[in-house]
Amino acid sequence: MSEFDTILYEEHGGAAVITLNRPDKLNAFNEQMHRELRAAIDLAENNAAIRTLLLTGAGRGFCAGQDLGDRDFDSGERPDLGQTIEAFYNPLVLKLRSLPMPVIAAVNGVAAGAGANIALACDFVLAARSARFIQAFCKIGLCPDSGGTYILPRLIGEGRAKGLAMTGQPVDAETALAWGMIWAVHDDETLRDEAIALATHLAAQPTMALAAIKQAIQDSYGNDLKTQLDTERDIQRRLGRSDDYREGVRAFMEKRKPSFTGN
Ligand code: LHQ
């Protein structure tokens, strides 16, 4: 376990588990938590033994977005929110989307504002039965950020995305599952164990292939079919030379379980 104040960092059999840890504020982001989260992700990325990342929250919330107590409105100053987004939220979302390993969000409770969209930027979203996803931005005169106008409509369609963003209405875990917004719902008591089980399972899979799948599916949004088919060809050419492809085929032929190294 590494020493941070606003997050916890642990490693479980090839998976890095990062827990947002400001439970009194429902794990809302201040600058320190952004910096520590970034450092923890770097720690995971730079450790060759880590092949999955799991993000969750301490206490009854996953993350309530930006810490709204962080700004001094009494001074009459009009803050530059773009600066905060440029410095912290945008790099975080881009990092989660580009990490060459699966990223899981275990949404243990309410996920609001940027907290909801950071969860939805992850490759797998598991939610506790009591979790809620809230595009809270419009309630305070803002527009969704952290990918909320990009990832959310791609997950659930424009109509539902606009509805959620313009009303700030909470979506419960079962509805999120039915709408295709998330991967799975688990009982509150078992969510963490289920998420760690998925993370350690994925950490033992052919990581290069999983990273290629992630990138190819994400990149497809900007590609026409011909370009995407060419991308798939190039990926397959690269993966076809990997140790894990050889191991996967050998294990199949020998009727045994493969032992993937991620190479
Ligand atoms: C909080 C927060 C919070 C501080 C709960 N801050 N304390 C990017 C760039 C720059 C600026 C602006 O924003 C962004 C992106 C964004 O994320 S904007 C959206 C920011 N988030 C929100 O608007 C959500 C605000 N929170 C809520 O609406 C509610 O707290 C939810 C619906 C999340 C949960 O409601 P409850 O379950 O009823 O809990 P609660 O409201 O009682 O909160 C518990 C405590 O957590 C409470 O503190 P207290 O001392 O009274 O116990 C809240 O003040 C604190 N808290 N969210 N974002």
Residues 119 and 221 in one domain: no
Q: Which residue's CA is the nearest one to ligand 1's atom 14? A: 66
Residues 235 and 197 in one domain: no
- Which atom of ligand 1 is closest in space to residue 60's alpha carbon? 37
Q: Which residue's CA is the nearest one to ligand 1's atom 52? A: 24
Share of the chain above pLDDT 70, in %: 99
Residues 192 and 243 in one domain: no
Judged against a pLDDT cut of 90, whether residue 75 lies above it is answered with no
Confidence band for 169, pLDDT divided at 50, 70 and 90: very high
Residues 225 and 197 in one domain: no
Q: Which residue's CA is the nearest one to ligand 1's atom 10? A: 81
68 within ligand 1 shell (Cβ under 6 A): yes
- Which atom of ligand 1 is closest in space to residue 146's alpha carbon? 15
2 assigned to some structural domain: no
247 assigned to some structural domain: yes
Judged against a pLDDT cut of 90, whether residue 76 lies above it is answered with no
| Cβ partners under 8 Å of residue 159, min gap 6 | none
What CATH number is given to the structural domain containing 131? Answer: 3.90.226.10
Q: Which residue's CA is the nearest one to ligand 1's atom 13? A: 66
Residues 193 and 213 in one domain: no
Residues 161 and 218 in one domain: no
Which domain covers residue 227, as residue numbers? 207-253
Judged against a pLDDT cut of 90, whether residue 72 lies above it is answered with no
- Which atom of ligand 1 is closest in space to residue 139's alpha carbon? 23
Substitution site in 22, 27, 63, 68 for ligand 1 pocket (most atoms within 8 Å of beta carbon)? 68
Q: Which residue's CA is the nearest one to ligand 1's atom 6? A: 67
Question: Structural domain tally of the chain?
Answer: 2
What CATH number is given to the structural domain containing 245? Answer: 1.10.12
113 within ligand 1 shell (Cβ under 6 A): yes
263 assigned to some structural domain: no
For the whole prediction, is pTM greater than 0.75?
A: yes
Q: Report the chain's mean pLDDT, rounded to a whole number.
A: 97
142 within ligand 1 shell (Cβ under 6 A): yes
Mean pLDDT of 122-127: 98
- CA of 194 relative to ligand 1 center, distance in Å: 27
Residues 120 and 71 in one domain: yes
pLDDT per residue over 26-67, tens digit each? 999 999 999 999 999 999 999 999 999 999 999 999 999 999
- CA of 136 relative to ligand 1 center, distance in Å: 9
Token pair 């993966």 in the structure block, residue: 239
134 within ligand 1 shell (Cβ under 6 A): yes
Share of the chain above pLDDT 90, in %: 95
Judged against a pLDDT cut of 90, whether residue 79 lies above it is answered with no
Residues 159 and 245 in one domain: no
